[in-house]
Structure 1
C-alpha cells in the first residue's frame, strides 16, 4: 500500500504529461485557410507552459483548444488605444474567404468584414504575401467603422495562378479597379497597401481619382523590381541584364524558384526585413510558403520578376490630389528610407498632400511588425480626414 501511495504522484504527473502532449498534438493539426482543400494553415503560437504546475498548464491549453492563432503582440505596456479595443482579437482566429470571378474566368480570393453601409477600405499586400498579412489590422479597421476588404492579387495567396504571358503592375491595377467597382461602385475608397501593394494604390489613385478618397502607403516600393535598368550605369545595366537572363530563363528559372521558395530561405528573408524577430512567427512563415507550392506559382514568380518594373512613385505622386499618409520603417533594407534609388524621405517633395511618418527600429512591413504604432497613427489620421 505504501508503494502504491508513493507512486500516485508519479502516475498523476505521467497522466498530466500525456494529456499535455495530446493537447499540443491536437493544436498542431491543420485548419482550413480557404475554400481550396489543398490550402492549409498550421495552428501556431501555443500557450507557453511557464508555470511549474503542469495541471494548470493543461487547463490553459484546454481553454485555447478552439483558437487557431494566438496573439503575438506583447500586452505588458498596452496603450490607451489598445485598452479601448481590448475585446478585439489582434490576430484573426478564423478567416472566411470569398471568391470574386474576375473577367468572368479568374478566381480571386478576398475577405470582407464590417457594416455594408460603412466607408470601404481595401488592403493590398506586397509581393509574395496574401490576405493573412493583414491579420493584425483588419479587426481594428472594422471597429473604427470601416467596411474592410482584403484581396489576394492574381497569382498570389489563394487566388488563381493562371499561366499568363505577363504578370505586371498594370494587370493588378486593373484588378483592383474592377474589384472596387464591383463591390461598391457608388463610394470612394480608402486604399491601403504595403510594398508593391502601396505602389499599386498610387497607380489607382493617379489613374482613377474619382474612385479614391485617401491613400495609406506602407514602405512603398520603387517598382516591381528594386531598380530599373535605366537607373544604372552602363556596366551595371549590362550586368543586371545578364543576371536576369541567367536567373529567369526556362532552364535555370524553375531551379532558382524551387531553391528560393524553401521555408529556410523564406525565414532568412523575413529575418532580414523584420527588425523585431518576435514578429516572425510560424503563421507568417506559412502564409508566405504555402502559396508557393500551388500549381502555377513558379510561372507567376518568374514572369513577375522577369517583367517590367512599372511606374515609379516619383512619377505618380504629382498626379494625386487626395490625402496621402506614408508610414515607413526606417531600417528596411529593401525599400530604404534615406538612400537607394527611391528613398522614402524624399517623397513629400513630390506631393504637398503627403504626410510622411517614419518608424524607428522597424523594417519592411510596419503593419505586421509594429501594428500598435501603425494603428495609433493611421486611424486618427483617417478620422481627421472624415471631419475635414
Structure 2
C-alpha cells in the first residue's frame, strides 16, 4: 500500500440543494463507488478505500440522511426511498465522477446500487453486493417471518410514527453502549468492534435530523426487494456474504445467486453483517480480482 493513498480526501457535493459528504482516493483506473448500509456512512469503507485506490479511482459516499450528509425532514422535499438514493448515486456518477462506475455496497446499500443500475444502466458497470438486505420487514415478506413478528411489526411501526415516541426511542439507541451491543450482534469478530467504529456510527446519529430519518426508514415497508431488481440488472453482479450474519441469513442470500446477472458468490465463514469492515483482508482481494477481471475483459 502506498503512503500517498493512506488517507482519503473528504469533500462535499451539492445535490438538489443539499450538502453531501464523500471521500475520494486514487486517481487512475476505473471508478469504484462504495455505498454504506443503514445507519452507517462512508467511514465504514475506511479499510477498503486505501486498497481500492491503488488500482481504481475509489469513492465512498454518505447517502442523504446519513453520515455527515444533510438530513432534511422526510418528504420535505425528498422521501427516503431507494428511488431517491438510486438517483443520488446516478447523479454523483454524472456530476462528480463523470463516467460509469462500479458500485460496491453493503446491506441496504445493495438495494440502492441495484436501483441505480436499473434506473441508469449506462452509468453502472457492475455491482459487488456484501450481505445484501433481504428486507425481512417488507410488507411482501410478512408471510416469511414468525407469526408474532407479523402481528407486532405494523403496530410498532405505527407507534414509532408518533414524533415524541419515535424520538425518545431513537435517543435510547443513539448511545455508545447500545451501539456497541448492536455491533456485537452484527459482527462475529469481537476485536472488530472498536471505539473508532462505535464513534463512526454514533457521531452522525447525534446530528440534526438523524432521528427523523431513522424513524422514516424503519417505517418504510414498501419499495423494491432485491429479487425485483436483479432480473432487470444489465450489468454483472458479484456477491459476498458473511455466513454468520444474524440479520440477513446466508440461506436466503444464496437464492440471489440464481439470477442470471450474478457471476459469482463467495461466503465468508466466521464473518457477520459488514464483511468490508470486519474482514477487509478477505473482501478486498475478492473485489480487486472481480473488478480487475471485468476491466480486462471489457478492454
Normalised by the length of structure 1, the TM-score is 0.71
Distance across 2 between alignment mates of 1:356 and 1:309: 27
For each residue in 1:171-223, what CA deviation from the matched residue of structure 2 results, as whole angstroms up to 9, or x when unmatched?
A: 111111111110233x2210111001111111111221111111111001123
Are residue 348 (structure 1) and residue 261 (structure 2) matched? Answer: no
Aligned to 2:242: 329
Decide whether the 8 Å contact of 1:328 with 1:337 is kept in 2: yes
**Aligned Cα RMSD in Å?**
1.8
Please point out which of 73, 95, 104 is paired with 1:163: 73
For structure 2, the 5+ residue unaligned runs are none
Decide whether the 8 Å contact of 1:108 with 1:154 is kept in 2: yes
Aligned to 1:3: none
Does the residue aligned with 1:355 lie in a helix, a strand or coil? strand
Aligned to 1:357: 266
Decide whether the 8 Å contact of 1:111 with 1:151 is kept in 2: yes
Runs of at least 4 residues of structure 1 off by over 6 A?
A: none
Decide whether the 8 Å contact of 1:120 with 1:188 is kept in 2: yes
Please point out which of 283, 290, 295 is paired with 1:381: 290
Q: Which has the higher contact order (CA 8 A, sep 6+)?
A: 2
Normalised by the length of structure 2, the TM-score is 0.92
Aligned to 1:213: 125
Decide whether the 8 Å contact of 1:138 with 1:148 is kept in 2: yes
Aligned to 1:154: 64
For structure 1, the 5+ residue unaligned runs are 1-84
**1:263 CA displacement:** 0.8
Aligned to 1:126: 37
Decide whether the 8 Å contact of 2:80 with 2:217 is kept in 1: yes
Please point out which of 287, 292, 316 is paired with 2:205: 292
How do 1:137-286 residues align onto structure 2 when only pairs under 5 Å count?
A: 137-144=48-55, 146-165=56-75, 166-185=79-98, 187-223=99-135, 226-233=136-143, 237-286=150-199
Distance across 2 between alignment mates of 1:294 and 1:173: 23
Decide whether the 8 Å contact of 2:236 with 2:261 is kept in 1: no
Does the residue aligned with 1:222 lie in a helix, a strand or coil? coil
**1:227 CA displacement:** 2.3
Distance across 2 between alignment mates of 1:327 and 1:287: 23
**1:299 CA displacement:** 1.2
Distance across 1 between alignment mates of 2:20 and 2:39: 15
Does the residue aligned with 1:378 lie in a helix, a strand or coil? helix
For each residue in 1:274-295, what CA deviation from the matched residue of structure 2 results, as whole angstroms up to 9, or x when unmatched?
A: 1011111111000000111111
Does the residue aligned with 2:250 lie in a helix, a strand or coil? coil
Aligned to 1:111: 23
Decide whether the 8 Å contact of 1:199 with 1:222 is kept in 2: no
**1:236 CA displacement:** 5.1
Does the residue aligned with 1:213 lie in a helix, a strand or coil? strand
Are residue 311 (structure 1) and residue 234 (structure 2) matched? Answer: no
Distance across 1 between alignment mates of 2:24 and 2:9: 9
**1:95 CA displacement:** 4.6
Distance across 2 between alignment mates of 1:123 and 1:201: 9
Does the residue aligned with 2:22 lie in a helix, a strand or coil? strand
Equivalent pairs, count: 291
Q: Describe the shift of the 1:259–1:363 C-alpha distance in structure 2 as closer, same or farther (beyond 3 A).
A: same
Decide whether the 8 Å contact of 1:89 with 1:139 is kept in 2: no
More deviation in 350-359 or 129-138?
350-359
Aligned to 1:17: none
Q: Describe the shift of the 1:235–1:269 C-alpha distance in structure 2 as closer, same or farther (beyond 3 A).
A: closer
Decide whether the 8 Å contact of 1:329 with 1:363 is kept in 2: yes
